[in-house]
Amino acid sequence: MLLIQCPACGVEAEETEFAAGGEAHIVRPGPGCTDAEWASYLFDRKNPRGVHYERWRHAFGCGKWFHMARHTHTLEVFGVYAADVLDPPQEIKDRIAERTAP
């Protein structure tokens, strides 16, 4: 069970109030890409055992999309951040580095 804090409305709730939206930060290939690149964009998804960046939606709450970094094995949530960014913010990266340091 994940405890998630929605960055839009500030509610901290368990995961049943949210909907997972799949892997985050996927880059759409430009015009003229190969079929293989396009197929990869459509279908290939990471499934790491470890740190994972995902899109989530506060489906039963305020309805907003956001990003979340979590650990797929320990289920630790490293943090949430805005939906309209291309990369995780530095504070999230720092926290992940701190928490996953050997």
Q: How far is the CB of 21 from other proteins (least distance, A)?
A: 17
Q: Are 87 and 25 in contact (CB under 8 A)?
A: yes
Token representation of residue 28: 């759409």
Q: How far is the CB of 7 from other proteins (least distance, A)?
A: 10
Count of chain residues binding other proteins (CB under 8 A): 14
Distance CA 28, CA 9 (A): 29
Determine if 85 is a binding residue for other proteins (CB under 8 A): no
> Which residues are CB-contacts of 8 (< 8 A; sequence separation ≥ 6)?
58, 62, 64, 66
Token representation of residue 66: 């956001």
> Which residues are CB-contacts of 87 (< 8 A; sequence separation ≥ 6)?
25
Q: How far is the CB of 10 from other proteins (least distance, A)?
A: 6
**Which one among 61, 77, 83, 95 touches other proteins, defined by CB under 8 A?**
61
**Which one among 17, 23, 37, 76 touches other proteins, defined by CB under 8 A?**
17
**Residue nearer to other proteins on the CB measure, 11 or 39:** 11
**Residue nearer to other proteins on the CB measure, 33 or 82:** 82
